[in-house]
């Protein structure tokens, strides 16, 4: 049975120069989409991934990451839009790194696709009427 999950990987300094994610593909036949990455040599690294594969392979891949010393967190937060506060100003459209916001050509209203959201929080900080909210 296939599974697909979004996870956050935190790499300690000693692992940032190793091909850890490569081994998820090669050794466990997992496909992934990098939603966000911030990895600096000689410092800690962070990646938000959507990993897809057979359930057994996924579990083995997660075990491999744990054994390697990568901290794994489920992406269990979500961003929502308070429709009563949103003024459809469009500020969120230009700041979203994954294009989770779009402008409806006919109504000129801002559409939010929560499935594309990687919960980076940029829209929450940058929304003038504070319509974007973080939920745990």
Structure confidence at residue 11 (pLDDT): 83
Total-model pTM: 0.61
Residue 116, classed as helix, strand or coil, is coil
Asked if the model's pLDDT at residue 136 lies above 70, the reply is no
Is pLDDT larger for residue 39 or for residue 130?
130
Model pLDDT for residues 54-71, shown as the tens digit of each residue: 999 999 998 998 998 888
Structure confidence at residue 111 (pLDDT): 95
Question: What mean pLDDT do residues 110-124 have?
Answer: 88
Q: What secondary structure does DSSP assign to 41-102, as a single string?
A: TTS-EEEEEEEEEEHHHHHHHHHHHHHHT-EEEE---EEEE-TTT-----HHHHH-TT--EE
**What does pLDDT average to over the chain?**
87
Q: Which of 36, 28, 29, 27 is nearest to 7 (CA)?
A: 36
Residue 134 backbone dihedrals phi, psi, to 5 degrees: -105, 130
What are the residue ranges spanned by the domains of the chain? 2-74, 78-135
pLDDT band, very low/low/confident/very high, at 24 (cuts 50, 70, 90) = confident
| 2-74 and 78-135 in the same fold | yes
What topology does CATH give the domain 2-74? Alpha-Beta Plaits (3.30.70)
Look up the CATH number of domain 78-135.
3.30.70.20
């Amino acid at each position: 049975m296939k599974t697909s999950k979004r996870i956050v990987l935190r790499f300690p300094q000693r692992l940032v120069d190793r091909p850890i994610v490569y081994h998820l593909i090669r050794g466990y036949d997992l496909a992934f989409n990098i939603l966000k990455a911030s990895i600096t040599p000689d410092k800690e690294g962070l990646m938000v991934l959507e990993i897809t594969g057979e359930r057994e392979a996924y579990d083995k891949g997660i075990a491999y990451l744990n054994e390697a010393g990568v901290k794994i967190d489920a992406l269990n937060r979500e961003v929502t839009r308070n429709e009563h506060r949103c003024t459809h100003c469009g500020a969120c459209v230009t700041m979203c790194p994954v294009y989770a916001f779009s402008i409806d050509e006919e109504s000129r209203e801002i559409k939010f696709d929560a499935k594309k959201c990687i919960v980076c929080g940029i829209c929450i900080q940058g929304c003038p009427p504070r319509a974007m909210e973080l939920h745990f």
